[in-house]
Chains A and B, each alone.
Chain A
Amino acid sequence: MEETKVKVKAFLSRFFRKSEIADDDDIFALGFVNSLFAMQLVMFLEKEFSLRIQPADLDFKNFRSINSIVELVERLKQPA
């Protein structure tokens, strides 16, 4: 889980260069993100962790914070 978090944080740092975000911060509430960011995030997660995010999981609550993103990745990495 820590390795996942490190990778997610590294990706997000590109978009939040001027501000530190805590693991539970609501990144949408910070106001820096948009539809393009949402797509970039999904593509990054799918490639980096070799997984497919199904439409049912394309819910903003799964991407709201670093912790929620890591939880999603860890859940999807589990064998079905």
Chain B
Amino acid sequence: MSSGSAIQQLAGREAFRSFAERYIVHEADRWDSEEAIPQSIIQQMGAEGYLGAVISKEFGGLELDMKSLGALSEEMGRACSSVRSLLTVHGMASIAVERFGTAEQRQKWLPLLASGQTIGAFGLSEAGAGTDTKAITTTATITEEGYVLEGGKKWITFGQIADLFLIFAKLDGEPTAFLVPRTTPGLSIDHLKGIFGTTASMIAELRMENCLIPHEAILGSKGLGVPYIAMSCLDYGRYTIAWGCVGILQACLDACLSYTSKRETFGTLLKNQQLIQKMITEMTVNTKAARLLCEDAGRLKDEGDSQGLLATWAAKYFASISATKAANEAVQIHGANGCSRDYPVQRYLRDAKVMEIIEGTTQMHELVISSDAYSLSDF
């Protein structure tokens, strides 16, 4: 990642916000109802370079520093968590190719991923394997013609439209990563509908039956899948989701400041009620605190500091539970209107809850963060 100047970072944030205001904010509720985002917005994001946010400039990407990537994730997350999810999973596939791919794989895929001509997705979760990544049952068998994949993947974000899947399968019992194009014979894709939150993230279930991919489709080497590739991707995902949660928090705060300044009850504006002021205070402080934790994680990542990994767990933990709390209170503040699709706060609540589950549940974060605390202690 390159390190941008403060002025570049500020200009980047303003551009991201302007794009989100112009093309996303006013459409997000409709996309949520339709359970899809249109191809046109993906093309526009590609044209802006956002789909190549983390890809090196030599392959046509923006090569953003972590603070700028955070700003992009926050602004997209403020507008629409499903759009932010696209940037997250596409970025996860992209960093895997750039970090672990051969020169040929990088040359083949990264320019396409950077421009958005190819949309990437991350295929780790299965019906029986989520946080417990070692439980994956999809297998890869080496043959003279290539690798044969057998098994299934579930909850694959933007799997409905992705062109390239990063699939994790056990090769001789060891988790290994493979690049699987959508057009591969033996790969079938079912659309999953009725998802509770990030409803427009076009989630799919993949089935691989006698799915033959060439030998050069392996990413890295046997056994590298989960310990390094998946963990690197999930760290990236966790970081962008944490920032997306800051976006949800900001959206909740903005919505509540506006609503309580107009809505009257018992002869006065809601904002004059002390119990409302308490909720606004907590929302304000939690938004700032979550943003500071994300900035801390981003700074450490830009410095290449290994502490950035734990800082990212902490940021995502706090930001996601704070987003759920803020969205819950935003619905409460809006009353019956908050339960209506005429207001976005119900979407924020559904989206925020999903953030507590993906890229490690809240409980998994508690295990990791507390374990690290004990390892640093003398007890």
Contacts and interface: CB of A to CB of B under 8 A. Distances in A.
Interface in A37-52: 38-44, 46-47
A14 B310 CA distance: 14
Given A38-B231, A39-B235, A55-B99, 15 more contacts: A15-B375, A17-B375, A35-B226, A35-B228, A35-B231, A36-B231, A36-B309, A40-B309, A41-B306, A43-B304, A43-B306, A43-B309, A46-B304, A55-B228, A58-B221
B227 interface: yes
A14 B303 contact: no
Interface residues of B, number: 23
Contacts of B223: 60
B221 A39 contact: no
A47 B232 CA distance: 16
Interface residues of A, number: 19
B235 to A, nearest CB: 7
A71 B108 CA distance: 34
A39 B304 contact: no
A55 B221 contact: yes
B309 A47 contact: no
B41 interface: no
Nearest to B379: A18
A18 B220 CA distance: 35
Interface of B: 99-100, 220-221, 223-224, 226-228, 231-232, 235, 303-306, 308-310, 368, 375-376, 378
Contacts of B100: 55
Contact of B227 (A14, A15, A38, A56): A38
B169 to A, nearest CB: 17
Nearest to B377: A17
B368 A36 contact: yes
B375 A39 contact: no
Contacts of A55: 99-100, 220-221, 224, 228
Contacts of A40: 306, 309-310
Nearest to B303: A47
9 contacts: A17-B376, A35-B228, A36-B368, A39-B228, A40-B306, A40-B309, A40-B310, A42-B228, A47-B304
A40 B226 CA distance: 14
Contacts of A47: 303-306
A35 to B, nearest CB: 5
A43 B305 contact: yes
A64 B52 CA distance: 36
Contact of B224 (A41, A44, A46, A58): A58
